[in-house]
Structure 1
Amino acid sequence: MRRSSVPLFLSSSAVLLVVAGCGGAEEAPAEAATGSASSPAAAGGGDLTARLVDAAGAEVGTVTLSEGEGGTRVSVEATGLPPGFHGFHVHAIGLCEPASVSPTDPSMTGDFLSAGGHLGAADADHGQHAGDLPSLHVGESGAGSLTAVTDALNLDDLTDDDGSAVMVHAGPDNFANIPERYAPAGADQTTRGTGDAGGRIACGTVEG
């Protein structure tokens, strides 16, 4: 799937953070089972959902995606995740397989690599991918929530032939925002690709 629109409020204003909350004592504004290829969206453009699971197959949250005023509304409710900020993205393939092979590099294996890269990764550097979303903050209780609106993708983008998946990463996402005083040559390829958010700890196949 390919889309050329440039997302994210960090670079323009394509993602609007609506509500974010977290469990536990910490309060901070959010920046936000083995699956198979996702099914087509329900007739009439109904909501899409994803069940977030960890590499052991335990359910750790749910995601709802719906069309609304201003774009696609993404709502996340998560439990049982490590405290802190976690990169949260839409990935290009609707497969959430633990210990899987990367579809672009067969030499790489790891949890949920079957979901491929970020939606829109071929069109821009990270921070401007169609699948880039605000980070999910998880409190000390292991619970976190996020609601955001993006005009960089729609429900049809999420239900093409190879589907899509939502992904929670192990660490925070820097959105490739590396000041020149730290890196005069700019962010490296890994940062431009993923925002240094680390491994994939939870994945959910988007389904109608």
Structure 2
Amino acid sequence: MVSLVSMAALASSAGANDNGAGAEAKLQDRSGNPVGKLTINPHENGTVAVQVRVHDLPPGFHGFHVHAVGDCTPPFTSAGGHFDKDKHTHGSHSGDLPVLQVNENGTGKATIHTDRFSIADLFDSDGSAIIIHANPDNYANIPTRYAAAPDAATLATGDAGDRIACGVIERTAKQ
């Protein structure tokens, strides 16, 4: 079981304007059934701690991303593309997170520390959502021995497949 993944990334802005407040998302599948919860809280050194716990999902590795729009209308394409502050390609989007491992019993959990975004960044005019995809994410990493270059879909999404769970990210009170 994956229980802790640390992720160092791009230039730090985490914690800016967060004032100690956190965020959370209640994850649901396409039928509206609850399948887990995500929390995001300020952490040390300008990072945020992203914690997720899921249940009743298919076993295996799943793409796991912050998406640009806070809308979880099934089939969750309403959540837009991956959240990104600076027009990066996939694998370096601000909202790209490590893949989420779900165990044979349908449960999984992970904690990720990142400086790619602050909590305040997630609350722009259209909000943000968290998405769990059907397949693992390849982070647009296709070695040239298999193809001259990744295609546009791989560069944008990492071939993570359908969106199987979604949660709108909402503010929580100060801790």
Fold match (TM-score > 0.5): yes
Uncovered stretches (5+) of structure 1, i.e. residues with no partner: 1-7, 16-42, 99-110
RMSD: 1.7
For residue 123 of structure 1, give the secondary structure of its aligned residue in structure 2: coil
Offset of 1:181 from its aligned partner? 0.7
Does the 8 Å contact 1:45/1:155 carry over to 2?
no
For residue 191 of structure 1, give the secondary structure of its aligned residue in structure 2: helix
Where does 1:172-183 land on structure 2 (aligned, <5 Å)? 172-183=136-147
TM-score normalised by length of structure 2: 0.86
Offset of 1:67 from its aligned partner? 1.1
Tell whether 2:56 aligns with 1:80. yes
Tell whether 2:30 aligns with 1:55. yes
Offset of 1:124 from its aligned partner? 1.4
Question: Quick one: which amino acid aligns to residue 23 of structure 2?
Answer: L
Offset of 1:153 from its aligned partner? 0.4
Question: Quick one: which amino acid aligns to residue 63 of structure 2?
Answer: G
Does the 8 Å contact 1:170/1:199 carry over to 2?
yes
Structure 1 stretches (4+) deviating beyond 2 angstroms?
none
Find the aligned partners of 2:99 and 2:157 in 1 and give their Cα distance: 13
Offset of 1:92 from its aligned partner? 0.5
TM-score normalised by length of structure 1: 0.73
Uncovered stretches (5+) of structure 2, i.e. residues with no partner: 1-5, 11-17
C-alpha deviations, 1:16-43, integer Å up to 9, x for none? xxxxxxxxxxxxxxxxxxxxxxxxxxx8
1:97 corresponding residue in structure 2:
73
Offset of 1:156 from its aligned partner? 0.7
Tell whether 2:123 aligns with 1:159. yes
Where does 1:81-160 land on structure 2 (aligned, <5 Å)? 81-98=57-74, 111-120=75-84, 123-160=87-124
Distance 1:122 1:151, change over 3 A: closer
